[in-house]
Amino acid sequence: MLSIVIPALNEIGTLPAVLVAVSRVLPEVEKQIVLVDDGSSDGTREWIAANIPDGHREGSRLELDPSGHLVCLHEPQAALVTLHALRHERTLGKGASLRTALAVVTGKVIVIQDADLEYDPADWAAMFDLIVHRQTADVVYGSRFQGRREGRAQFNSMRQAVANGLISGLFRSLYRQKLSDVEVCYKMFTREVNDTLDITCADFGCEIQISAQIARSGRWKIREVPVSYRGRTRAAGKKISWRDGLKALWYLLWFRVSPRNPRPAKHEADAPCSRNTGQQEVSEERG
């Protein structure tokens, strides 16, 4: 099974299409989609509650009807797609959403997917092949820089490209790990890798923390593949800002020198869930 974790914050305009897109990829593979609403206020929360009753739906393929409602189709011989919806009472950050989702995944392979349309889930096929079929990787990163060389990726500005290149260059130097794009959304890894992750960084610094923990473990075979990317602007809903870029520089240093603590036996994201408007509500006080 492939588990797909999707953190979402105010993505009413793109989330429905993202769910349909991820359900169509690797049609022969059983999928678990874990969606975490991080305190949305633009209608995302209401759409999830209306379309994923009791926080759970399943079928072999997801589609949207003309009214924009989610339809779960059941096709003979097709792999099952199971959709789970969780929610935070208030906005905690991407890292907190990943922590919540990764605590409940059950697949042998996990991939991170943003709730926008910047990335193309079709790129998972090459990543999945390296882990499952060829068994030459435990972790596979997408690379927008490799994708750009193939004409498949476009940053929203030169500043974004330079900043991401700088962060990745510093990561290579500090962690002795050849990765060209550590801030990329597309990270696919085995359940064994997930069991070692301990995400304490609630904001976008989670990208650095995940990569630091993987690199510093020295246990995992890591590969990269080119991915498609169409970066959106702040006006179009982009959440990350230049402030997050500055914080990433600090996180690069902090996670390099911080102790390599093992993940607790019971992860802090395993908070009790209660039913609320069709979604499981997760209370997290850690930020």
Residue 246 has pLDDT above 90, yes or no: no
pLDDT score of 269? 39
pLDDT score of 250? 87
Residue given tokens 């897109």 in the structure block: 21
Q: Domain residues for 274?
A: 2-282
Residue given tokens 């702040």 in the structure block: 234
% of the chain at pLDDT higher than 90: 77
Residue among 245, 255, 241 at smallest CA distance from 167: 245
C-alpha dihedral sign at 209, 116, 150, 164 = negative
Read off the DSSP letter of residue 67: T
Query: Would residue 81 count as lying in a domain?
Result: yes
What digits encode the pLDDT tens for the residues 80-108? 999 999 999 999 999 999 999 999 999 99
pLDDT score of 113? 98
Query: Would residue 28 count as lying in a domain?
Result: yes
pLDDT bucket at 264, cuts 50 / 70 / 90: very low
pLDDT score of 31? 98
What span, in angstroms and rounded, lies between the C-alpha atoms of 276 and 98? 20
Regarding beta strands 139-143 and 273-276, do their DSSP bridges make them parallel or antiparallel, or are they unpaired?
A: unpaired
Residue 278 has pLDDT above 90, yes or no: no
Residue among 119, 120, 156, 116 at smallest CA distance from 11: 116
pLDDT bucket at 248, cuts 50 / 70 / 90: confident
pLDDT score of 171? 95
pLDDT score of 274? 30
pLDDT score of 258? 81
Query: Would residue 287 count as lying in a domain?
Result: no
Residue 268 has pLDDT above 70, yes or no: no
pLDDT bucket at 213, cuts 50 / 70 / 90: very high
Mean pLDDT, the chain, integer: 88
Query: Would residue 196 count as lying in a domain?
Result: yes
Give the domain CATH number at 106. 3.90.550.10
pLDDT bucket at 32, cuts 50 / 70 / 90: very high
- Total structural domains within the chain: 1
Residue 254, classified by CB atoms within 10 Å of its CB into exposed (0-12), middle (13-18) or buried (19+), is middle
Residue 226 has pLDDT above 90, yes or no: yes
Kindly state the greatest CA–CA separation across the chain.
53
Q: Tell me the whole-structure pTM to 2 decimals.
A: 0.87
What digits encode the pLDDT tens for the residues 62-82? 999 999 999 999 988 889 999
Distances (CA, A) of 50 to 62, 85, 91, 251: 15, 11, 20, 38
Cβ atoms of 96 and 286 within 8 Å: the answer is yes
Query: Would residue 147 count as lying in a domain?
Result: yes
pLDDT score of 39? 96
What span, in angstroms and rounded, lies between the C-alpha atoms of 287 and 241? 19
With H, G, I as helix, E, B as strand and everything else as coil, classify residue 281: strand
pLDDT bucket at 157, cuts 50 / 70 / 90: confident
Compute the average pLDDT of residues 256-273. Answer: 51
Residue 263 has pLDDT above 60, yes or no: no
Residue 235 has pLDDT above 80, yes or no: no
Compute the average pLDDT of residues 124-148. Answer: 98
pLDDT score of 243? 78
Query: Would residue 18 count as lying in a domain?
Result: yes
